Amino acid sequence: MKKILLFSFLTYFSVLGLFAQNLSLENSYGAVGNGDTIVMASTNNSAVFAIGINVKNSNSKAIAVWVKKTELQIVPGSENYFCWAQCYLPSTYVSPDSILIKGNGVAVDFSGDYDSQGNVGASYIMYTFFDKNNPTDSVAFVVKYLAGSGVGIEETTPQAEVSNLFPNPAKNIVSINYDLKGATNARLEIRNILGSVVKVVEINESKGTVKVDVSDLTNGVYFYSFIVDEQVITAKKLVIQN
């Protein structure tokens, strides 16, 4: 298998300090921000990826932590699973088991595994770590698994153009500019940190600006995806600060 390239695109928002929590993430490159996207890419059509993440508990008391997997977009024919305390079948989306992270301790037991099985394209998977007794104490990141040659990936991806959602952080209204470039359907989805969809906006025009009222969302970290012809064009973090 050709060399796998690992890129971590980290976006820092100073306002995240307003949302106190005990759990945080890190990998071998350093801190991974709540809501960050990590890209794992290989030109090998049959690439197999495994991403490791450490989960830190800044509380002086121990916390039992579960993991939830949310498939934002999956390439047909590929396979994925995750390990937390033990490795689970691809059909498992919430870990049956928790890991007790000691006060001020670190758990190094997570692995997100992805096998393209010869299928070219990009899959987006969100992993959320949470205290089952206090789900608001949670932290998540998205992995974009990208397998296959650049030409093959270009051919299977809609050529729509999409801006970042703005303003971000947001209070009342967020906007996103887009041009579908001939695509037939699109939508904007916003999910909370546990992966549940909280807003869906269908796109009815081929080009323009979508405005979304987010004043009803509580403060915190969310994820938005712009989906064109059932393929995720972008998946990024949205911070709500009312």
Intervals of the chain under pLDDT 70: 1-20, 149-158
Q: What does the alpha-carbon distance between residue 79 and residue 100 come to, in Å, rounded to a whole number?
A: 28
Q: What are all long-range contacts of 29-35, with beta carbons under 8 Å and residues at least 24 apart? A: 32/8, 32/141, 33/141, 33/237, 34/139, 34/140, 34/141, 34/193, 34/221, 34/237, 35/11, 35/140, 35/141, 35/142, 35/193, 35/221, 35/222, 35/223, 35/236, 35/237, 35/238, 35/239
**How many other C-beta atoms can be found within 10 angstroms of the C-beta atom of residue 110?**
21
* pLDDT (0 to 100) of residue 21: 82
**How many other C-beta atoms can be found within 10 angstroms of the C-beta atom of residue 196?**
9
* pLDDT (0 to 100) of residue 150: 56
8 Å CB contact between 241 and 171: yes
Could you tell me the domains of the chain?
5-154 (2.60.40.10), 158-240 (2.60.40.1930)
Q: What does the alpha-carbon distance between residue 200 and residue 129 come to, in Å, rounded to a whole number?
A: 24
* pLDDT (0 to 100) of residue 18: 38
Q: What does the alpha-carbon distance between residue 207 and residue 161 come to, in Å, rounded to a whole number?
A: 9
* Whole-model pTM over 0.85: no
* pLDDT (0 to 100) of residue 110: 97
* pLDDT (0 to 100) of residue 6: 42
CA 210 to chain centre: 22
Number of residues that make up the chain: 242
* pLDDT (0 to 100) of residue 31: 94
Strand order in the sheet with 63-73: 5-9, 37-42, 134-147, 121-131, 63-73, 99-101
117 to 13, 148, 188, 199, 202: CA distances (angstroms): 37, 11, 29, 33, 32
* pLDDT (0 to 100) of residue 14: 34
Give the tens place of pLDDT for each residue, 79-100: 999 999 999 999 999 999 999 9
* pLDDT (0 to 100) of residue 233: 87
Q: What does the H/E/C string look like for 133-184?
A: CEEEEEEEEEEEEEECCHHHHHHHCCCCEECCCECCCECCEEEEEEECCCCC
**How many other C-beta atoms can be found within 10 angstroms of the C-beta atom of residue 138?**
23
